[in-house]
Chains A and B, each alone.
Chain A
Amino acid sequence: AQTVTQSQPEMSVQEAETVTLSCTYDTSESDYYLFWYKQPPSRQMILVIRQEAYKQQNATENRFSVNFQKAAKSFSLKISDSQLGDAAMYFCASEGAQKLVFGQGTRLTINP
């Protein structure tokens, strides 16, 4: 079984600043992946970044990076140089045994 918890229902950040979204997970799978998805208002879910659990190195995609702490089962997302287009719901997800389980989401607001 897998569970994903996002403890921050809402976050806000000033444009150009850095923000970190938190996520913890639990899984009985030894082979699993972790993802952050972005869902803008009334638009489709887009993959932001992924992390293979067997890799120690934290994934990075341009302004997006993760802090993967396997022992603590923590997987946070850092967004650097925040832009207005980053405003969206962000979902953390765990994938194992062909099953993708999502957290409750964090709504990110960017203040100009």
Chain B
Amino acid sequence: EAGVVQSPRYKIIEKKQPVAFWCNPISGHNTLYWYLQNLGQGPELLIRYENEEAVDDSQLPKDRFSAERLKGVDSTLKIQPAELGDSAVYLCASSLDQGSREQYFGPGTRLTVT
């Protein structure tokens, strides 16, 4: 069974440029999460989707971050414009449904903003 797929694995951009990350969850998993992981710290939730609905986006900085999961399967997280402080690893995770307690993580996208 394929795991959570993320692309790209690495991205280097200049500040003020836009950037997008893509995630494909495990097949059949209805719940999808985006996390931000700063260097040396634990992941922090940005947004949670149940199918195509964003049910928890309270920690998403909406002035520059946006996300979508149009068909309830894969998802895109966008930053526009990027700032130096956005340099981090962006993790995607999925779980079977909102009643599932275990989350399965992708390899992450390491973003460097110069």
Contact = CB atoms under 8 A, between A and B. Distances in A.
- The reply to whether chain A is a binding partner of chain B is yes
Interface of A: 4, 33, 35, 37, 43-47, 50, 52, 91, 93, 95, 98-100, 102-105
Nearest to B42: A102
6 contacts: A45-B43, A45-B93, A50-B102, A52-B101, A98-B48, A104-B40
A99 B56 contact: yes
- Secondary structure class of chain B's binding surface, majority of residues: loop
Contact of B105 (A44, A104, A105): A44
B13 to A, nearest CB: 20
A105 B33 CA distance: 20
Interface of A is mostly: strand
A45 B91 CA distance: 9
Contacts of B33: 100
Contact of A105 (B3, B42, B93, B101): B42
Contacts of B40: 104-105
Interface of B: 3-4, 31, 33, 40-45, 48, 56, 91, 93, 98, 101-108
A102 B101 contact: no
B102 A47 contact: yes
Nearest to A91: B42
Give the most central of A4, A43, A95, A103: most B CB within 10 Å.
Answer: A95
Contacts of B31: 98
Nearest to B100: A98
A91 B43 CA distance: 9
Contacts of A91: 42-43
Contacts of A45: 43, 91, 93, 105
A39 to B, nearest CB: 9
Contact of B101 (A37, A44, A95): A95
Nearest to A45: B105
